[in-house]
Each structure stands twice: as structure tokens, then as C-alpha cells.
Structure 1
Amino acid sequence: MSSSDAVQEYIQDERDPSRSPNVPITGLMVQYYHVCKRELWFMANGIDIDRETTNIQRGTHVDETSYGDSRRSFMIGNRIQLDLLDSGDVMEVKVSSALEKPARMQLLFYLWYLREVYDIDKDGVLAYPTERKRESVTLDEMATTEIESTIRGILDVVSWDSPPQLEKKPYCGSCLYQDLCWM
């Protein structure tokens, strides 16, 4: 199957409730793909992190306490959760802009998913409340190409029998999977 066929098959699986996708892609998977493919592989293969750690709890707290008066959360199926602002824009809230591209790609995936699966066109807002920073995000042709490339990449990585090679990155020290990688 060609790589463009893999994206089209994914879209068809998502549109048809009687079909179930081979790999149910989430926004977090998109983020992990752009942070660390090894982290993505661990998560996709059921090796999950402790959700009670300080970093995770801090992110959850910022997400739950920011913009609460102007956004609502929606669950699509059992794995796509997104927030809509009163304006109708899709919002993604992050603690820090340190990993800005992965956060933007996660939001772009949500916009792409809404358009390709439900024929709903939305714009997005990427927000970093602790930095008092907001950015408008639009799904254009270049972003669509990048998201579809990301989907193909995710489908590839999660199909591997073992995790990708270990690669030292600047943020490895704060990664919750570091004990698996560096022991």
C-alpha cells in the first residue's frame, strides 16, 4: 500500500463506525511523534507513564484552570478530546512553549481530523497561559501535507517490533520514559 493510501484508509476507518482503525491515532501520539519517536513507540505499545507525576499534574492543573469560562471540552469517539472556545476555534493549552512544534502539530491534527473525518473547518488557538501567550493556528495546504506525513510516520513507527534507536535530546532529563531509555 502506498503511503497516501495509508492516510486515505485511516480517514475511511475513522468515518465508518463499523470499521475500527488499525492504529487509533490520538493528538498525544502526534505530539510524541514530533518530540521523540521512541516515546511514541512506548506509549503505542502499552508502556504508559505514571500519570501522577508532578509534571503531568502541573500540565493538567494549567489545562483545567485556564480559559474555563470561555471553552468547552468535547470527546470524539473515545480518544480525540478537544476544547472549543466560545468563538468556535479549537484550543490547545500547554504549560510551556518549550516544545512549540509538537504542540502546534497536535492542534493541527485536531483541525485536520475535524475537516477530513467530519467535514468541519475550524481554526485553532495554541495557548500558553503561564507565559501569557496565544497564537492563531490555521490548517493550510502545507500544514495538511505535514499532518498527513506525520500520520504515515506514526503508522510506521508503531508497527516496528522494537523501539527506535536511542537518541539523546535536550529534554531527555525531564522525560517520564527516561528510566526505560537510560538504565
Structure 2
Amino acid sequence: MDKQSIFITATQINYFFVCKRKLWLFSHNITMEHNSELVELGNLLHQESYAKKRKEIEFDGIKIDFFEKNKALIHEVKKSKAIEKSHVWQIKYYLYRLKELGVEVEGEIDYPLQRKKEKFSLTDKDEKVILNIIAEIKLILKEPFAPQKIDQKICKKCSYYEFCYA
């Protein structure tokens, strides 16, 4: 395993694109997700949308929603495309970590409420981008204080909203 990716979770990759403050807080064990109705709704969507196919695979900070062995395809289920870039890099990180283990698969993001699916593979360029993302995350996490809040529209739906704006 690439020592640079050890201890970086897929959630951290996702949060890197959503909000650096959220990334820092989450990584320093300040978690608010358990208080969020939207997170709860997302979990329910995961459980109900693909109940028959649903067999989570979890390892080293990675939690894949389900895997279609016959298609060599991993799936990530998301509620909406609102923060699509973070979803894309999260699934590419899964592909990267699996490749480190000698497992080459493709990935698919499923948006059941929109009845859409998007397929992804991992390129050499993606791998370089992921290494840069990991390095940037490590720099952010070394900071003694959380980055400033971003004050964006998405903040109102964030599980950390009250923490940042109270």
C-alpha cells in the first residue's frame, strides 16, 4: 500500500472537495453527522434503494456500498448530484485503493432519486491527482486550527452548520 494514502479515508477525500473546514473538523474527531437529518435520510436511501444487491465492503477507511462481482463494478449510492465533484473523487479514491491491493474494477455512482448512473474508471492522470489530494489533505490536517468557513449555499444543508454559524 502506498504509505501516503494510509489513514486517509474516502470521507476525507469527499470533504476535501466540499469544505476544507468540514474536513479538518471531521479529521480532528469533531463529528456532527450523527445530528443530521439529511445524513440519516442518505443512510436510509442507501439501505432501501439497493436492498437486494447491498453488501457493503469495508476496509481501511473505505466503505463501498455494494459490488457486482460478475461486472467487476463497485457502486456508491448518493442522494443527489449537488456536490458531484466530491462524489467522483470519492469513487476514484476507492478505485485507487483497490488497485493498490491488486484489484482492478470500475466504479459507478448511483443517484436513485434521479434514476441516473455514472460510470468511472481510474486513469494514470487520476492517480497523480489523488496523490496530490492526499498531500493537500495532510497539510490541512497539520494546521493547528480549522480553516475559515466557506459561507456557501451548501452550508445551510451541512451537518456542521450550527457549529460554524452559531
TM-score (norm 1): 0.83
Question: What is the CA–CA distance in structure 2 between the aligned matches of 1:50 and 1:32, rounded to whole Å?
Answer: 12
Matched, 1:175 2:126: no
Matched, 1:137 2:120: yes
The count of corresponding residues between Structure 1 and Structure 2 is 164
Q: Give the corresponding residue for 2:53.
A: 70
Question: What is the CA–CA distance in structure 1 between the aligned matches of 2:10 and 2:48, rounded to whole Å?
Answer: 20
Which blocks of at least 5 consecutive residues in structure 2 are unaligned?
none
Q: Give the corresponding residue for 1:81.
A: 63
Q: How big is each residue's C-alpha offset from its partner over 1:46-84, in whole Å with a ceiling of 9 and x where there is no partner?
A: 10014143101110011111223234211214x321121
Identity of aligned residues (%): 26
Question: What is the CA–CA distance in structure 1 between the aligned matches of 2:90 and 2:149, rounded to whole Å?
Answer: 23
TM-score (norm 2): 0.91
Which blocks of at least 5 consecutive residues in structure 1 are unaligned?
1-6, 12-20
Matched, 1:96 2:84: no
- Judging changes above 3 Å, is the alpha-carbon distance between structure 1 residues 50 and 125 closer, same or farther for their aligned structure 2 residues? closer
> Which runs of structure 1 show a deviation greater than 4 angstroms over 4 or more consecutive aligned residues?
none
Which structure has more relative contact order (CA 8 Å, sep 6+)? It is: 2
Matched, 1:113 2:91: no
- The answer to whether the Cα contact below 8 Å between 2:33 and 2:160 also exists between their aligned partners in 1 is no
Provide the aligned C-alpha RMSD in A: 1.7
Where 2:113 maps in the other structure, the secondary structure is helix
From 11, 20, 28, give the equivalent of 1:45: 28
Counterpart residue identity of residue 152, structure 1: A
**Shift of the alpha carbon at 1:8?**
4.4
Matched, 1:154 2:154: no
Where 2:13 maps in the other structure, the secondary structure is helix
Q: Give the corresponding residue for 1:30.
A: 13
